[in-house]
Structure 1
C-alpha cells in the first residue's frame, strides 16, 4: 500500500456500505460424483458384530454404581470418509432410540480408489437404553427386517468401532499417576460429565440422580466434591473434585464421565526488570474519544496508591477479597496502560484514550482449595461482562493448559465463546508464553482460552510495525489451535524480547521492563479500541476482520502460519483507513440465514490491462458446541469468487475426446461449440480460494479452514480474467455433528481490497464513480443505536 497521504488535500477514505452491492443469485443444483464406499455393509457387519457383542456384555457387567440407571453411554468410531455432516447416521441412531451427546477426536483409515492413508476422524458418543443397545446388537448381527430397518442397517458401513468409553480416553492424568501412593494428599481434578441426552438437537444437562450418584462415588473413594463450583456449559457438567491420584483410574470407569483430568493452575505472570527514570506524562485529556462502547481489563488491578490520577483515572473494581499483591498490580497496571495508550515509551505524552476502560482486579484469587482459582476468576469475568455490557475485553491471563488435537471440552473456552456469540463481545486473549516448551508433547501450543473460535488470540513478535525485519519471539505460544479455530494465534504484536524489552507503564508514569504475550494482546486491544471510534458501524466480526486483513504477512506465510497466524498486527489502523490512488478497501457488514446464498459485487470498475490483486477477509461469529470438540463451531460460511461474468465451463458431448475448458460465451468460439452439443456450466467459473483443492477429503477441508470463523484469501487476477466479478456466500449449519435445519442468522463482516498491481490505475476514483452506493467511512457517532436481535451492532 503506497502513497496514501501523498496529497493532504485529497482524501480517499476506506469505503463502507458494501452490503448495498448485493446481487440476486440462484443456488446451483448440487453436483458431485459417486461416493466411494471404503467398506461394504457385509464387511462392516463382520467387523462390528463381535464388537457390539462385547459392548453389550460390558454394559451388563458394569456395576450399578458406575452407570446411569436407565441408559448407557456408547462410542462409535466413524471412518474418515464420513466426517461430513450429511453422512451422520441419523437413521441408525433413531432406530435404536439413541441420542447423540458428543464426540471425540480420533484417527482412522481414509480409503478411496486412489488413497489409503491415516486421517483425522471422530468417535460419536451416544446414550441408549439397555434394550436399545441389544437391538443394535441384533440389527448389526442379523440385518434389517423392514425397509426402515434396512436403511438404518446400511449406515453401519460408516463405522469401524463400537465400544463403551475407553479408560485411556476418559482419564487424562500424568504418566506417573499410578506410582502415587494412596496416602497422597487430595489434589483438585476436573471431572466433565456427559449430557443426559438431547432434545431437538440441544443437549440436556445430566440429571440430578446420576450427578448425586457420581458425588457419592467420589466420597466413597475418600474424595471431596466442591459443589459450589459445579457448572453446566452446553449440556456438559463440570465438577471440580478433590481426589487422591491413585483413585483416578477406578473413578474413570464411571460410564457417564467424559473426562477426568488434573485442574490447571492460572498462568504465572512475566518477570519484571529495571525501572526507568523517565516517565510517561498524562494525556492532554483523559476523556475518551467515544463513550458508547467500553473496554474491560481483567487482571491484577491498577495500583491506586502510587498512580498518577490523569494517567489512570478510570473505574477500578476489586472483585477479589484478597489484599493487593504488588507483582500482580504491576502486571495489571501495565496491561491496563497498554489498553489505554498502546505502545508508549519513557518521555512521551500519553495519547487520549479512545474508549472508556474499566479495570477488574481478580488476582490474587481468594484462598480456595487447590487450583479452583481458575473457576472463580472465570465466574467473575462472565458476570461482569454480562452485567456491565462491555464489548471489548482484554484477557492477559488464563489457565496453564495448552490446546491439544484431541482437545476435550474446556470450560474457559466454551463459556467465553458462548458469551462472545450471545453478547457480541470480542475477547482479545494473550496466546501464552510457552513457545519454548516441549514440542513433542505439544506444550508449546497456545494456552486456553486463546483457542477461542469467536475471540482474537495474540502472540508476540520482536519488533513493532512497521519496522523490519521481524519474527515471532521464541517464548510466544504457537498453533495450530482447536478444530474450528486452527489458525491460532490469529496474529502477533510486539511483546518484547530479551534484546528489546516491552515498556510496562507503572501507576506513577515510570516504566518496568518485561516481555510476554500479556503485553502484546493489550497493544492490539488499544488499536481495535481506536478503530471503533473511526468507523460508523462496528461489531466483533468487523474488528476481527480488520486485525486479520491488515496484518503484515511474512514472506513464508504458509510455512510460518502456526507461528504468527495471519501475520503482524498494526499498532494503529489509521493508515489503512485511507487508500492510495491504485487501491480501494471496501467493508461489507451483513447477516446470513441458514441455507441462504448471497451474492455481492466485487467493486472492480475497469478490467484494465494489468494484474489486479484482491485481498479478501471474512469474519463471523458462530454458535459453539462444547460436546463436539471436532465439530466445535456450528456455522460454516463458504465463499466462492466468480471473477468473470461471461466465462463459463464448457463440457464436451458425451463420448467426445475433448476436455472441459473455460469459454467466453460472448466469443465466436462459443457459438461454434454450443452448436456441436457442448454444454455450459450453470454459473460462471470460480477462482480457487484457500489451500484445499478439488477432491480434498473432509478432514483436509476442515484443516484448511472450512469451519474457521476468520479467513483471509489473496488472489491475483490477470488481464482478461476479470469482468463484473462477484462473491457468493453460503451458510450451512450443524448440530450434534449432523446438518441442522433450524433457522439461525449469523452476522458477518467482509473486507475486500482491490489493488492495481502496476500502481498506474486510479482504482479508488474509478470505483467511487461507478459504485455510488459505497460511502467514505466517517468517524463513529456518539449516539447509541437500537440493537437488532438478529444482527447486533455496537452503535
Structure 2
C-alpha cells in the first residue's frame, strides 16, 4: 500500500492512525518492512479481500495493489552438461581505485573469481543460500569482471576489484510476497552505506512499470541516488516477448529510476546488432520516458553470453538475459573510471556512455539512446578532427550557467557536427508521478554572439535538444521535456556560423509540480563533441586556444599497446 503522509511532525500521526484503523478492520500491517520516500509511506499489509476494501476507505490511502513476486533467477537458457573451458587473466585489475558492488544472489563455495573479489558479504547471515541465486550471482559477477568470454579463449583483464553482496537468499524462494520488501531493505542498506561509486542490480519485482504510479523499489532507489555520487546499472527485465498492447512487455521496476541507468540486451557485439527479442521495451514514464537508457550485449539463442560457472576450474556456462547486459555495461563505466581516474564523476561517466551510444537504425522505444561501443578507447579518446569537452559541477536553483563551446583560433572551416549530452541527478517526488523529478534544466544554444535582436541582451537561440524525442506535443506545451534527467542530441552545421557559441543552462526547481523554495543544488555533467573533418589537429588547436581554462584528462594508469 502507498499512504500519503503529512509534512513534518504529522507523519507519525498518519502512520499510527492507519495502523489503528487497519487493526479495527482486521488487516495486519507489516510496519517493520515499510519504506518512506518523499511524502509516501509504502507498507505491506495482509488481509481478506473485503477487509482490504474497507481499509481503502482510509482517507490518506494513495494506492493498493497485490505485491508482485521477485523476478526469477533461473537462467533463461540452460545448456547441456558439456563443459567448455577458458583461461583466466594472470594480471591484477587495471586499477584498485573504483569501489564496485554487485547486489545479487551470492556466490557458491567453489569459484575461480577469488583473485578479483575484494569482499563477499551476506546481508542476512541467518538465511540459507538459494542454489539458483548462487549460480546467478557468480554469472553476474563474471559478466562484470570479464565481459562475455570466448569459449576456449582467455578472459579479458578486469578493470577493478568487485564486492559481491548477497541480497537474495533461500527465504526469497518461498514466494512469500513480503520477501520483496525484505530484499529492498538490503538494497537500501547498501546504498545508505555510501561505500560504492558503482553498483549493479540484476533483480527486482516481476512487474512492468505503470504511468500513473511509482513503485516502492523505484522511489527508494531514486531517492538514494539523487546526490549523483553513485552510478547504478539496473537490468530492465526479460519480458520483451510479452504482449505489448497491454504494457506487459514494458521495462520492469526499478529500471524506471530516473537517477539509474536502465540496461537492455543486444543480441550481438558486432555492428549488425539489434534488440534481443527477450529484452523489455520502452517507453518509460514521463519524466524518464527514454527507457531503456542504454543497450549492451546480453546474449542470444545463437550467440550466448559465456560466463564463469561454479567449480574449482575455469569452465564456462552459456547464458542470455538482461541480467548479464547490465553488469557488462557497468564494466565499461568502471573501465572509464579506472583509466581516467577520479577526475570524472560517476555522473560524467554516465553522460559519456550516453554520448557514445549509437541507435543504429533501431526504434528508440526498443533501444533507448542505443548501444555503447565495445571498444572503450573510442569513448575516451579523440581521433583526428574530433575534440570532446567535459563540463561537470553543481547547479544552484534559479541560476544560469553558461557553457562555452571551445573553438580553435580563427574558428571552424567547412561542415561540422556538434553533439551534446546533459546528465543531472534529481531529487524526486514519488507521490506525484507526473511531476516526479524536482529539478529541470532549460538549455538553449546560442551559436553566434554577433546575432542579437534589437533590444535583446543575449544572442539569438537555435533549437538543439529536440523535445519531440522526449514528449508529445501536449507535454511539450506544458514544458514536460525539460524535466528529463538526460538530454542528448547532435546537429550538422557550417563551421562559419559559430561565433563564440554557448549553451545557457537554467535550473528550475519544483515540488509537487509547483515552484519550490529552498531547493538543493544538483550535480550535473555536460559532454560536448565537435567533429570538424577539415581540422585534423582539432584537439590540440582547441587546447592551445583555451590553455588557461581547459585541462586535458590524462590516463591515470599505464595501458598496454594494442597491435591491430
TM-score by length of 1: 0.65
Please state whether the residue corresponding to 2:164 is helix, strand or coil. Answer: strand
TM-superposed CA distance for 1:761, in Å, is 4.4
TM-superposed CA distance for 1:501, in Å, is 1.6
Counterpart among 436, 442, 450 of residue 632 in structure 1:
436
Please state whether the residue corresponding to 1:535 is helix, strand or coil. Answer: helix
Deviations 1:245-303 (A, max 9, x none): 343333222211111110111111233422553323232233x3333331111111122
> In structure 2, what is the equivalent of residue 688 of structure 1?
463
CA gap of 1:729–1:566, structure 2 versus 1, over 3 A, is same
Do the aligned partners of 2:447 and 2:499 also contact (CA within 8 Å) in 1?
yes
CA gap of 1:711–1:348, structure 2 versus 1, over 3 A, is same
Q: What does 1:137-152 align with in structure 2 at a 5 Å threshold?
A: none
Does residue 590 of structure 1 match 2:396?
no
Do the aligned partners of 1:641 and 1:726 also contact (CA within 8 Å) in 2?
yes
Please state whether the residue corresponding to 1:640 is helix, strand or coil. Answer: strand
CA gap of 1:414–1:696, structure 2 versus 1, over 3 A, is closer
TM-superposed CA distance for 1:335, in Å, is 0.2
TM-superposed CA distance for 1:765, in Å, is 2.7
Do the aligned partners of 2:265 and 2:276 also contact (CA within 8 Å) in 1?
yes
Which blocks of at least 5 consecutive residues in structure 2 are unaligned?
A: 559-564
Q: What does 1:21-100 align with in structure 2 at a 5 Å threshold?
A: none
> In structure 2, what is the equivalent of residue 333 of structure 1?
138
Please state whether the residue corresponding to 2:84 is helix, strand or coil. Answer: coil
> In structure 1, what is the equivalent of residue 541 of structure 2?
766
TM-superposed CA distance for 1:515, in Å, is 1.2
> In structure 2, what is the equivalent of residue 378 of structure 1?
184
Please state whether the residue corresponding to 2:165 is helix, strand or coil. Answer: strand
Does residue 747 of structure 1 match 2:523?
yes
Does residue 356 of structure 1 match 2:161?
yes
Distance 1:369 1:211 in 2: 27
Counterpart among 104, 107, 116 of residue 299 in structure 1:
104
Q: What does 1:21-420 align with in structure 2 at a 5 Å threshold?
A: 191-196=1-6, 198=7, 206-208=11-13, 210-269=14-73, 270-274=75-79, 277-286=83-92, 288-304=93-109, 306-308=110-112, 310=114, 313-320=117-124, 321-366=126-171, 370-387=176-193, 389-406=195-212, 408-420=213-225
CA gap of 1:629–1:743, structure 2 versus 1, over 3 A, is closer
Do the aligned partners of 2:466 and 2:489 also contact (CA within 8 Å) in 1?
no
CA gap of 1:369–1:612, structure 2 versus 1, over 3 A, is closer
CA gap of 1:702–1:344, structure 2 versus 1, over 3 A, is farther
Question: RMSD between aligned alpha carbons?
Answer: 2.4
> In structure 2, what is the equivalent of residue 126 of structure 1?
none
CA gap of 1:765–1:213, structure 2 versus 1, over 3 A, is closer
TM-superposed CA distance for 1:718, in Å, is 1.9
Counterpart among 374, 378, 381 of residue 571 in structure 1:
374
Distance 2:546 2:392 in 1: 17
Counterpart among 345, 367, 373 of residue 539 in structure 1:
345
Please state whether the residue corresponding to 2:51 is helix, strand or coil. Answer: helix
TM-superposed CA distance for 1:411, in Å, is 1.4
Do the aligned partners of 2:35 and 2:220 also contact (CA within 8 Å) in 1?
no
Q: State the aligned residue count.
A: 547
Do the aligned partners of 1:487 and 1:562 also contact (CA within 8 Å) in 2?
yes
> In structure 2, what is the equivalent of residue 15 of structure 1?
none
TM-superposed CA distance for 1:702, in Å, is 6.8
TM-superposed CA distance for 1:709, in Å, is 0.9
Distance 2:466 2:5 in 1: 36
Structure with higher Rg: it is 1
Q: Which moved more, 1:695-704 or 1:334-343?
A: 695-704
Deviations 1:95-154 (A, max 9, x none): xxxxxxxxxxxxxxxxxxxxxxxxxxxxxxxxxxxxxxxxxxxxxxxxxxxxxxxxxxxx
> In structure 1, what is the equivalent of residue 503 of structure 2?
727
Do the aligned partners of 2:424 and 2:486 also contact (CA within 8 Å) in 1?
yes
Deviations 1:576-635 (A, max 9, x none): 322112111111112111111111220122444411111101111111111111111111
Do the aligned partners of 1:334 and 1:504 also contact (CA within 8 Å) in 2?
yes
Do the aligned partners of 1:223 and 1:241 also contact (CA within 8 Å) in 2?
yes
Deviations 1:714-746 (A, max 9, x none): 011124321221111111100122111315211
Do the aligned partners of 2:123 and 2:186 also contact (CA within 8 Å) in 1?
yes
Please state whether the residue corresponding to 1:705 is helix, strand or coil. Answer: helix
Distance 2:227 2:384 in 1: 40
TM-score by length of 2: 0.91
Do the aligned partners of 1:206 and 1:237 also contact (CA within 8 Å) in 2?
no
Distance 2:207 2:278 in 1: 15
Deviations 1:449-470 (A, max 9, x none): 1011111000011111xx1211
